Chain A
Amino acid sequence: MRDVSVSNPKPQQVPATAKIEFRDVTKTFGAGTKRMLALSGINLSIEEGQFVSILGESGCGKTTLLRIAAGLIPPSSGSVLMDDVAITRPGRDMGFVFQQSVLLEWRTVLENILLPVEIFKLDMKEHREKALEFLKMLGLSGFENHYPIQLSGGMQQRVSIARALILSPSVLLMDEPFGALDAITREQMNSELLRIWSHSRTTAVFITHDIGEAAFLSDRVVLLGSRPGCVKQIFDIPLPRPRTAEHRYDNRFVCLCRDMKQAMMA
């Protein structure tokens, strides 16, 4: 079951490896004199199994780009394809992590993780095992019956990652999930995210304004320019996986971060 529909019946010339493809995507908000061009001519191909970060200053339209990819808002022109099919609305094949954890405060940790299973009316017992497995992987064993208010911000965001992954989506979209966390917790969360991601190797799109975070997590970093948002430069991150905190002090890592910073400032 996939909630995407074919809008373009023409044969595609996209390479088979492209999982998500942005084609000439523009987005304008408002009308008349208040018309604002948020994204202009975005062309971007994200390969299957890649971890791609979209890096840019606040207000550059990176969240808008992700929301279009999720099918939450339509592009003004152009299209976003997933497996060569235009994305017009959200689907089960997609996990989404918000800036905040967005947990339901009346549900326990386990009930929150299993919410997607409930919505899609899938087998509870089977996914329960999986949810407990995730909790173990994320260092949250024993917290399954706690309520969100009892958890720290970092723990809450880990629960929301487990919720996004519970249905094994082929694409994981993350909108600055660690933006609200302190630097130390954020680095820990980066490592944990990579650990849980390495089990599924799902295609991941990660929005951030933090250069170090983008470089540490990604295979590729897409730098967005501002007003209107456009692809400024793409960086390949050739660091080997699995990555550990040590990589942050690697010469190549430091040089990449410097290059990205210069490109961002340019």
Chain B
Amino acid sequence: MTAAAIVPMEVGSAERPAWYTTRFGQLSLTLAIFTAVIVVWDLYVRLTGLSALVLPAPYDVWLSLVENTLSGHLINHMWVTLSEILLGFLLGSVIGIALGTITAQSLLMRTILGPYILASQAMPKLALAPIMVIWLGFGIAPKVVIAALICFFPLLENTIIGLTSTNPYQVELFRVLTASRWQLFFKLRVPNALPIIFAGLRVAITLAVVGAVVGEYVGANRGLGALIIAAQGSFDTPLMFAIFVYLTVIGIVLYKIMELLEQTFFSWRHVKPGD
């Protein structure tokens, strides 16, 4: 989970581009790698005669995936997990941004609150899952809270950094223009912080998936995490793998949505020098 965006490499476009640098070529290579992994996986299972309990063949996973999707089993549990992820992300982000904004207002505040902010980061949030179950029961609430806790820190930190890392010359410009405190905040500090806050949101959305699933491990009867524990109990390893596929897809889709929003909001960051 990296905060930095993956910047596509600029490839020399002079003359005829090599086939593997074209869009089609790149897509083919990506798919080829996927196929290779599946083939190696399948061969490994066949040749070693490994039990499906330990490592099911790709085709068994596929069958389980199709069967449990068509029956609505996986979808039902996915909605539970997805709503935990989104609610937790929303809650954690809003609180993180709000507290970050307040903390960024004064150095005194940052100094006083500093140790607590550090402690809240150092504390492994997932370790709180059992106590959350005791406090909040087996429903959706403890998972939302864990997801929120885990999303909270990157947003607190990035909001503080974003709002305080303003270029001192730009601050001076606003002084020369006799800008008010509000104008300085909304016309300089906030626009300067937004890309950094967005980077925090991108990290948080993937962390929220972890928070929700681990929350479900600890105590739940619904959701994809609970289903993994159930599959473990009934030795249904293909189902476990099918759920991994679901979780991965959820993570990718959420991340891509954030990326798309970022590109829409911050189009200025994507122009290149000399355009």
Contact = CB atoms under 8 A, between A and B. Distances in A.
B178 A98 contact: no
Which secondary structure characterizes the binding site on chain A? loop
B169 interface: yes
Contacts of B187: 115, 118-119
Contact of B177 (A116, A147, A150): A116
B173 interface: yes
Contacts of A3: 178
B46 interface: no
A90 B266 contact: no
Interface residue SS majority, chain B: helix
Interface size class of A (residues with CB under 8 A): 20 to 34
- Interface residue range, chain B: 20 to 34
A149 B170 contact: no
B271 A98 contact: no
A62 to B, nearest CB: 17
A96 B177 CA distance: 9
Most buried by B among A70, A92, A100, A105: A105
Interface in B162-202: 167, 169-170, 172-179, 183, 187-188, 191-192
A104 B175 CA distance: 14
Contacts of A92: 178
Contacts of B173: 96, 98, 102
B154 to A, nearest CB: 22
B169 A91 contact: no
28 contacts: A3-B178, A72-B175, A72-B176, A89-B178, A90-B177, A91-B178, A94-B176, A98-B172, A102-B167, A102-B169, A102-B173, A104-B188, A104-B191, A105-B268, A106-B192, A106-B268, A106-B269, A107-B268, A108-B268, A115-B177, A118-B187, A119-B183, A119-B187, A147-B268, A149-B268, A150-B271, A150-B272, A150-B274
